[in-house]
Amino acid sequence: MTPKQADRLRRQISAIRRTLAAEKRKFGGYDDSRGLRYLPTRYYVQLADFAGGLTYLRWFWRNFPTDAGFADFLFEATIILCKQGKLLEAARQATATFRADRQLLARFLGAPAPPVEAWENAPLAAEAYARYFATLGSPATLQDVAEWLGELTSTAEFRTSAQQFSDLHRQLHGEQDGAKRRHLLAQLYPPSPNNA
User: Which is nearest to 172 in space by CA: 186, 189, 157, 185?
Assistant: 185
DSSP symbol at 1: -
pLDDT tens digits for range 71-122: 999 999 999 999 999 999 999 999 999 998 888 999 999 888 777 776 666 6
Contacts of 31 (CB under 8 A, 6+ apart): 23
- Do residues 68 and 97 make contact, with C-beta atoms less than 8 angstroms apart? no
pLDDT tens digits for range 10-35: 999 999 999 999 988 888 888 777 88
CA–CA distance, 117 with 43 (Å, rounded to integer): 32
Task: Say what the pTM is.
Answer: 0.88
The string over 173-187, giving b where at least 16 C-beta atoms fall within 10 Å of a residue's C-beta and e elsewhere, is eeeeeeeeeeebeee
User: Which is nearest to 169 in space by CA: 157, 181, 153?
Assistant: 181
